[in-house]
A = this chain, B = another copy of it.
Amino acid sequence: MSLLVVGSVAYDSVETPFGKRSNVLGGSALFFSLAAGFFCPVNLVAVVGKDFCKKDIDFLKRKKINLNGLEIAEGKTFRWKGRYSADFNNRETIFTHLNVFENFNPILPEQYKKSGYVFLANIDPDLQLKVLKQISKPRLTACDSMNLWIENKRASLMKVLKVIEIFIVNDSEAKQLTGRSNLIKAGNKMLTMGPKMVVIKKGEHGALVFTKQFKFCSAAYPLENVCDPTGSGDAFAGGFMGYLAMKKSLTKSNFKKAVIYGSILASFNVESFSIERLKKLKQAEINKRFREFKELISF
């Protein structure tokens, strides 16, 4: 069943302790699509500028990502530059040029409106609500957010949480949103805000899943060589939602496995800059890492 993602497609410039890249593919919807594409067809909604390279369009088409919802607007593509500290625990934003993304107004192509699975990547919660109104009876909806919206658009974000089924959020955002420094308290608190499931991403420390029916704690796949964490949260969400869209039946077992596949896609993503690792990634490598991961965390 098709999986819709609405978010950003960008050109990123990144500096990490292991090197740098300039004007390489990035954006939440892009990382998500590439990760989810290993499991199911992906319908992308995003906006880029006239400067968006044809070779990048061709690449996304080759990856069988449906680009009918990719608007090419007058102006420049969203550009972001950031720098990571030596231990990757801090990220400094050097610039954010929203460009065409500033006026992003997601309109779903007719054929997208019946996407069974929906992921609203990190965009203005008012836009997330607008997207949700255009979709008829999705089987499963999920969203991400960020500190900017928690601070400045809290009321809108709370409206999103009232109607979304799964909220995927990182640890610092979970603490910020709930005012709880204990992540278990934060997860339980977010469950009271509306979502049926809350997934807290903890980066190198794994993920926590909260529902009223069950909880799940996953370690992260242990990686010796982390090159660039950009997009790993979106790759996690892509693996998670892609796996669920592929499996169709929304059982506890499938939700847990979806978290593991999300972690695996994130673990591959951080091994290289930008989308370099996801671009080359083979299905067989995902399956192999799943087996290794199972052995690593089973007892």
Contacts and interface: CB of A to CB of B under 8 A. Distances in A.
A205 B202 contact: yes
A184 interface: yes
A49 B215 CA distance: 47
A82 B82 CA distance: 38
Total identical chains:
2
Nearest to A219: B217
A185 interface: yes
A124 B203 CA distance: 35
A182 interface: yes
Contact of A224 (B188, B220, B221, B295): B188
Given A216-B297, A299-B260, A222 B208 contact: yes
A204 B260 CA distance: 19
A93 to B, nearest CB: 21
A181 B87 contact: yes
Interface in A245-261: 253, 256-257, 259-260
Given A87-B181, A299-B253, A299-B256, A220 B217 contact: yes
Given A188-B224, A202-B205, A205-B206, A216 B296 contact: yes
Contacts of A225: 182
Nearest to A257: B299
Interface in A275-299: 294-299
A223 B87 CA distance: 27
Nearest to A226: B182
A203 to B, nearest CB: 10
Given A87-B181, A204-B183, A297 B222 contact: no
12 contacts: A86-B181, A182-B225, A182-B226, A206-B206, A216-B297, A216-B299, A217-B222, A218-B219, A218-B299, A253-B299, A260-B299, A297-B297
Closest 6 pairs (CB-CB, A-B):
A256-B299, A87-B181, A217-B219, A205-B205, A184-B224, A184-B222
